[in-house]
Amino acid sequence: MPDISVTIGMQQAWLLPAMPVVAFLIISFFRKILPREGDFLAVIGMLGILLVTLFIIIDFQGFFHDGEFHPGEANVYAFDWVRISADNFLFLIEFSTYIDAISVVMLIAISIVGLMVAIYSTGYMQGEDRYGWYFAVLSLFVAAMLLLVTSGSLIWMYLAWEGVGLASYLLIGHYWDRQSAAEAAKKAFITTRIGDVGLLIGIILLWKATGSFDIQTIIAAATSGQIGETYLTVAMLALFAGAVGKSAQFPLHVWLPDAMEGPTPASALIHAATMVVAGVYLIARFSPVYEVVLVARDVILYTGLLTAFLAASMGLVTSDIKRVLAFSTISQLGFMFVALGVGAVGAAMFHVLTHAFFKALLFLGSGSVIHATGRQEVEYLGGLRRKQPVTAATFIIGSLALAGIPIFAGFWSKDEILHSVSSYASPFVYIVLAGTAVLTAIYTTRLVLLTFFGSPRDKSAFDHAHESPSSMTVPLLLLGLLATVSGFFVFDAVGKLFGFSGGIGYLVYLHHPHAFHIDWAFASVATVSSLTGVIIGWVYWHGGAERAIKARAWSPDLHALLVNRYYLDELYQGIINRVVLGLAGIVAWFDKKIVNETGVDGGAQLIGYFGYRLKFLQTGKIPNYALGIATGILVLSVMVLARA
């Protein structure tokens, strides 16, 4: 890379969240008077972020030699935010930014996808209500996400964690006049909140053990054995609980399919590329610690595995194209957690990057379909490749990447994960994961066939369809390009071309950087299984999808189980109705009967009763009062005289 004299580097990482925050403030306050309600400010913000990210990467590469990162203090920027100190006691919360390879990967994903989504949104959201507010919240989201991935302090990361949850709630509920959207936003926030409680407990436990909120300090303390093993296991499981909520893993995955009520570009950014990988980022960050508490890491492994398989099975029967992609996201996140569960941090982060590109591509493509036809369910689609060629082509590229077909990005990252799993985990895990990969290929093929091929199922939707404007198709094309080539970053030669010491194995790793070599046998097996999935999908769903319809008739109960998402939503609602509302009923009874009626009303009634009985003393007759006076004087004088 040419040696550019940079005044912006890792020390200025705080600019990353600062710029979109400014955009958010300006748009939200002045959108009524800004031209086009200020959407260009959001796009400019994204461009600025991309620029600063590039500078940070250049600065980062300066300290990266032969796969070893030795920045000294250059990658940390910190100042005291809250400092309370006494003799032996120090309570310190710093605002600090910390840049390393993991941050860099996240920054690339966020900045590129953010820019694509912002540009796309100017086309997609044209004419919608609260157009400016959408861009404001989008900027807010990006600000919080950037703060999350650059923060070196757990408290600021938690703040950003909640911030992305807030932005997600606002965006899911953007069409709040629709009851289902409002419900979905509430569900998303509450479900992730349950996980966030775990995260907070974990943060507090770690602070209690180490006295610090600084991530690197905690990692150093944990890996050097300063924290008891059981204690540390509990703390790390608590942190994982936060990841389970935010990254929609079983059992807290239920919010993500419903979150598709939000505008599609928001879904692309938040629920595909960035927010949902915050959990992956968290675990990746703490991967040196998880290596010390392998029990916790096994929990991560099996949770991810279960989630991946379950979600893929549910995606197979869904008819809403966005929901298929939502289940796909949950499943792919499961893949990332499986990788983390075997300690393959590089593979996980690589999949984060490629998944960000192809999943955002798929979501934006589906948005293009929705924008053109006004429909989301496959019952009303079909044959759209003739009306929307660019959308169809890019969507197919994204699907090939998702299915893991070679040369496309998903193949390389998924292969890395499967390879690590086969090396470090039991054969059972590998078989289930490989089976899930086949399922992925099947449901992806199904989606493509039902949407873009075959004959149109709804005439009015088909006639109305047209290719989307360039503000939407250009991001699709760019993301399509990235979904094709970003997989090549696994090669060391490609990595060196960009100024790194090698491919992804040299950038993100747990202990040692490792060079990349293709295991041809393994890769062929993976390719064959992906192609098998595609072929199965074609066999069942091409044309009029007769075979699929027959298969559904063959096992209606299984189909019902999958369509109803394993009845988990009903289970949770049942728990809420019985346990939560039951407890609430008891507390309400206590408040009404004991505090209100006995305490407050009872006290008042007691005094009223006494007052009623005593009032009869006031007869109004003068001789009675005279008697009272006389009696009083008599008693007093007797008391005085007796004392004397």
Partner 1 sequence: MIPIEYFLTLGAILFGLGLFGVLSRRSAILILMAVELMLAGVSINFIAFASYLDTDAFTGLIFALFVITVAAAEVGLALGIVLRLFRERRTSNVDEASDMRW
Residue 376 phi, psi (nearest 5): -115, -20
Locate 39 and state its tokens. Answer: 């959407």
Torsion sign over Cα 149, 151, 153, 159: negative
Nearer to partner 1, 85 or 618 (CB): 618
Closer CB to partner 1, 29 or 610, in the complex: 610
CB 132 within 8 A of CB 126: no
Give whichever of 518 and 635 is closer to partner 1, judged by the CB atom: 635
> What residues pair up with 275 in beta bridges, in sequence order?
none
Please say which residue, 91 or 625, places its beta carbon nearer to partner 1. 625
Q: How far is CA 417 from CA 333, 421, 423, 438, 444, in A?
A: 12, 6, 10, 14, 19
**Residues near 514 by beta carbon (within 8 Å), at least 6 away in sequence:** 346, 505, 506
By CB under 8 A, what part of segment 433-462 binds partner 1?
A: none
Nearer to partner 1, 7 or 619 (CB): 619
Token digits for 497? Answer: 């071309």
Instruction: Write down the least CB distance from residue 627 to partner 1, Å.
Output: 6
3-state secondary structure 400-435: HHHHCCCCCHHHHHHHHHHHHHHHHCCHHHHHHHHH
C-beta separation of 233 from 296 below 8 A: yes
Nearer to partner 1, 5 or 618 (CB): 618
Q: Does 35 bind partner 1 (CB under 8 A)?
A: no
CA separation for the pair 383, 598 (Å, rounded): 71
Beta-bridge mates of residue 153: 214
List all residues 6 or more positions away from 243 whose beta carbon is below 8 Å from its beta carbon.
195, 199, 249, 278, 279, 280, 282, 283, 337
Q: How far is the CB of 637 from partner 1 (least distance, A)?
A: 12
Q: Does 630 bind partner 1 (CB under 8 A)?
A: yes
Give me the phi and psi of 84, to 5 degrees please: -125, 115
Tell which positions 461-480 bind partner 1, by CB under 8 A: none
Q: Which is nearer to partner 1, 2 or 623 (CB)?
A: 623
**Min separation Cβ 616 and partner 1, Å:** 6
* Least gap, CB of 573 to partner 1 (angstroms): 59
Closest CA to 199 of 155, 166, 230: 155
Q: Give the torsion through C-alpha atoms of 146, 147, 151, 155, to 10 deg.
A: -150
Return the number of the residue (544 or 628) whose C-beta is nearest partner 1. 628
Q: Of 176-184, 398-406, 499-507, 625-633, which part binds partner 1 (CB under 8 A)?
A: 625-633
Half-sphere exposure of 118 (CA within 13 A, CB side): 30
- Please give the residues from 584 up to 623 whose contact with partner 1 meets the rule CB under 8 A: 615-623
| 95: β partners | 79
Q: How far is the CB of 629 from partner 1 (least distance, A)?
A: 9
For the CB of residue 190, give the shortest distance to partner 1 in the complex, in Å. Answer: 58
Q: Where does this chain touch partner 1 (CB under 8 A) — which range of 256-264, 376-384, 465-473, 626-634?
A: 626-634
d(CA 7, CA 137): 30
- Pick between residue 79 and residue 612 the one whose CB is nearest to partner 1: 612
> Could you tell me the smallest distance in angstroms from the CB atom of residue 620 to partner 1?
3
Q: Which is nearer to partner 1, 225 or 608 (CB)?
A: 608
Least CB distance to partner 1 at residue 624 (A): 9
The least CB distance from residue 622 to partner 1, in Å, is 5
Residue 617: CB minimum distance to partner 1, A = 8
- Are residues 360 and 272 in contact, defined by beta-carbon separation less than 8 angstroms? yes
Q: How far apart are CA 555 and CA 563, in angstroms?
A: 12
Nearer to partner 1, 470 or 624 (CB): 624
Which residue of 4, 535, 604, 627 would you call a contact of partner 1, by CB under 8 A?
627
In the beta sheet, which residues pair with residue 76? 98
Structure tokens at 142: 């990006």
Q: Which residues of 234-260 are buried (b: 16+ CB within 10 A; e: fewer)?
A: bbbbbbbbbbbbbbbbbbbbbbbbbbb
Report 478-517 residues binding partner 1 (CB under 8 A): none
Number of residues that bind partner 1 (CB under 8 A): 12
- What b/e readout covers 521-531, taking b as 16+ CB neighbours within 10 angstroms? eebeebeebbb
Instruction: Report in angstroms how near the CB of residue 630 gets to partner 1 at its nearest.
Output: 6
Distance CA 487, CA 402 (A): 12
If the CB atoms of residues 294 and 627 are measured against partner 1, the closer one turns out to be 627
- Smallest distance, Å, CB 631 to partner 1? 10
Q: How far is the CB of 603 from partner 1 (least distance, A)?
A: 23
Residue 543 or 608: the one with the smaller Cβ distance to partner 1 is 608
644 binds partner 1 (CB under 8 A): no
- Report the nearest approach of partner 1 to the CB of residue 604 (Å): 20
- Stretch in the footprint of partner 1 (CB under 8 A) among 175-183, 382-390, 435-443, 624-632: 624-632
The CA distances from residue 487 to 47, 405, 406, 447, in Å, are: 24, 11, 9, 23
- Taking the least distance from each CB to partner 1, the nearer of 88 and 619 is 619
Q: Which of 626, 635, 636, 639 binds partner 1 (CB under 8 A)?
A: 626
Residue type, 194: I
Q: Are strands 90-98 and 76-85 parallel, antiparallel or unpaired?
A: antiparallel
Measured over the CA atoms of residue 230, residue 234, residue 236 and residue 240, the dihedral's sign is: positive
Instruction: Give the amino acid at 631.
Output: T
Smallest distance, partner 1 to C-beta of residue 610, A: 14
Taking the least distance from each CB to partner 1, the nearer of 622 and 642 is 622
Report which secondary-structure segment, H or E, holds 495.
helix 492-497
Applying CB under 8 A, the residues found at the interface with partner 1 are 615-623, 626-627, 630
